[in-house]
Amino acid sequence: MNTPDTPLLPNHLAGRWQTGTGRGQTLLDPVLGTPLVRADNTGLDLAEGFAFAREQGGAALRALSYGERAAMLAAVVKVLQANRDAYYDIATRNSGTVTKDSAVDIDGGIFTLGYYAKQGEALGEARCLLDGDRIRMGKDPLFQTQHVFTPTRGVALFINAFNFPSWGLWEKAAPALLSGVPVIVKPATATSWLTQRMVADVVEAGVLPPGALSVICGSSAGLMDQLQPFDVVSFTGSAETARIIRSHPAVAQRSVRCNIEADSLNSALLDPAATEGGEAFNLLVSEVVREMTVKSGQKCTAIRRIFVPRALYAAVAQAIGAKLARTSVGNPRNESVRMGSLVSREQYDGVLAGIARLRTEADVLFDGNGGTLVDADAAVAACVAPVLLGTQDAVAARVLHEVEVFGPVATLMPYDSEAQAFDLIRRGEGSLVASVYSENPDFIARAAAELADSHGRVHAISPDVATSQSGHGNVMPMSLHGGPGRAGGGEELGGLRALGFYHRRSAVQASSAALDALVARGVPFKL
């Protein structure tokens, strides 16, 4: 649906605000179905915008030290904190999220920015990063080599997903800007309003140099064509789109550095020694319910497959179902609602189709969709209640280990041995995160060693960390985010490790006197 009388979101490119010349795409309230704003970039001079960011924004950022760029991030944090109420309102209207789910996105993004501001402050006045110690090149100690990281002289293009319009921007932009690399973000159209508003507030505040931060709303057509050899692109979304990006001439021919986060069938594993009602049992049940319902299950890190000892299959199903039954679904404006909507009716249709596909190999253990939505019209709202599926034969299943349904859906599966559990989890062919629930440190250590190679993160929850653990699906800036295989093969965050994507490593071979001068400009750094 396109409604020309709906306000058009301006794009910020080439250091100025520009509106598209087309009809654009109308963003809707996913609960009420009402039009909100339009997104369009028709007619924009993309080449001019990328050149401006690369030449003006990049030069201005690189002229600063890491500490000075960190101070800019801290200034951005203050701008965003001052406008939080507006962001929460947009999230409710455009993403259909309840307040606590909006916080995961909005406050999570601000927290990540603040974290990198502090990390960057510690780098001080350095202008480059030193990788390791000097190495002698021969018998004569006067001629040596020093490996260094320097910011790439390009632009960072972010093509982001719809589920995290705030965090998805700032978790990428924080290390990029700290590195000295200008950012152009293309948010997913369906929820681009929040991203655009945040960029607008930062631009208006003047805390970043012109060209350091740009936003393009609407179509992604032509964006990849603008990339040059020293640019980088980071994408979060479907594996199908990821394949298109990887095969684009910018990546395949011009060697543009590419980071991908794609589909992921994340797992939860219960210790074979667990008992019904025991601490590990209860921790798994609570975490699964949280992961199924936070942001209506629209998280790349959400638990999709649950593996439990066969003897506990029925008990776990009953315990999860009992908790899910207490989840009220509907209009997030109603204080009694605990889970809002999906972001669009398109996603609603996709989730229902995905459930139908999973049901070819699984039974329904709990389905909350028989109830009435709170303050919402089921014929209009993109609301799907939690659905727990299950199969007694995880070994024979195929679809359950291949298809991710991006909503409040998870599948319970029993295992018969520790080795079989690890093998079943690895059938996801690479995931962002696997969580382990156990009271036994030795089992946790074995599970971590077995699963680390196929996961970006192994999150172990034991009774001693029950109240301090950050959550299976919460991505923390000090810890790695990404995963091998079908998860995209990319890496983000992980503290200062994230800066590596935006730097180029070189070996400087010179006299010890010249290297003394170089080292004075740098600070030790390890990936």
Q: What is the pLDDT of residues 328-350, one digit of tens each?
A: 999 999 999 999 999 999 999 99
Amino acid at position 212, single letter:
A
**pLDDT at 492 exceeding the cut of 90:** yes
- The answer to whether 433 and 248 are in contact (CB under 8 A) is no
The residue count of the chain comes to 527
pLDDT of residue 109 exceeding 80: yes
H and E: helices and strands count for the chain:
15, 22
**Is the confidence at residue 526, as pLDDT, over 80?**
no
- pLDDT at site 371: 85
Q: pLDDT digit string (tens) for 56-71?
A: 999 999 999 999 999 9
Mean pLDDT confidence for 369-398: 96
Q: Give the residue-averaged pLDDT of 38-55.
A: 97
Q: Is the pLDDT of residue 7 over 80?
A: yes
Determine the pLDDT at residue 138: 87
Determine the Cα–Cα distance for residues 222 and 53; give it in Å rounded to an integer. 16
* pLDDT tens sequence across 195-211: 999 999 999 999 999 99
How far is residue 331's CA from residue 374's CA, in Å, rounded to a whole number? 6
Q: What is the pLDDT of residues 133-187, one digit of tens each?
A: 999 998 888 999 999 999 999 999 999 999 999 999 999 999 999 999 999 999 9
* Contact indicator for 37, 70 with CB cutoff of 8 Å: no
Q: For position 3, what pLDDT does the model report? A: 59
- Whether 24 contacts 39, CB under 8 Å: yes
For residue 256, pLDDT beyond 90? yes
What's the pLDDT score for residue 370? 86
Give the domain ranges of the chain.
11-262+491-525, 266-478
Please check whether residue 166 is in contact with residue 105, taking contact to mean a CB–CB distance below 8 angstroms.
Answer: yes
Q: What is the per-residue pLDDT for 376?
A: 97
pLDDT value of residue 190: 96
Q: Are strands 11-13 and 16-18 parallel, antiparallel or unpaired?
A: antiparallel
Q: Report the pLDDT value the prediction gives residue 473, as an integer from 0 to 100.
A: 95
Question: For residue range 33-45, what is the model confidence (pLDDT) as tens digits?
Answer: 999 999 999 999 9
- CA-to-CA distance for 241 and 186, rounded, in angstroms? 14
Residue 1, pLDDT > 60, answer: no
pLDDT at res. 139: 86
Residues marked active site are found at: 261, 300
Structure-token match 């797992």, residue found: 267
Quick one: DSSP state of residue 313? H
**Alpha carbon distance 441, 433 (integer Å):** 19
Question: Which range, of 47-51, 369-373, 463-467, averages the lowest pLDDT?
Answer: 369-373
Q: With beta carbons less than 8 A apart as the criterion, state whether 488 and 237 touch.
A: no
Q: Which superfamily, per CATH, for 266-478?
A: Aldehyde Dehydrogenase; Chain A, domain 2 (3.40.309.10)
pLDDT of residue 239: 87
Residue 501 CA to residue 519 CA, distance in Å, equals: 22
Q: Same CATH topology for 11-262+491-525 and 266-478?
A: no
Measured CA distances, 519 to 154, 480, 508, 514 (Å): 24, 28, 11, 9
CB 168 within 8 A of CB 161: yes
Token pair for 145: 């080599």
Say yes or no to pLDDT of 2 above 60: no
Q: Which of 266, 275, 267 is nearest to 319 (CA)?
A: 275
Q: Which CATH number fits domain 11-262+491-525: 3.40.190.10, 3.40.605.10, 3.30.420.40, 3.90.76.10?
A: 3.40.605.10
Q: How confident is the model at residue 386 (pLDDT cuts 50, 70, 90)?
A: very high
Q: What is the mean pLDDT of residues 215-231?
A: 97
Helix, strand, or coil here: 61?
Answer: helix
Share of the chain above pLDDT 70, in %: 99
Q: What mean pLDDT value characterizes the chain? A: 96
Q: Are 284 and 268 in contact (CB under 8 A)?
A: yes
pLDDT at 233 over 70: yes
CA angle in degrees (0–180, nearest 5) for 113-434-329: 75
Instruction: Indicate the pairing of strand 480-483 with strand 143-151.
Output: unpaired
* Residue whose C-alpha is closest to residue 299's, from 184, 410, 182: 410
Taking each helix axis from N to C end, the angle separating 192-205 and 84-95, rounded to the nearest 10 degrees, works out to 160
For a pLDDT cut of 90, what percent of the chain falls above it?
A: 96
Helix H, strand E, coil C: the string for 163-187 is CCCCHHHHHHHHHHHHHCCCEEEEC
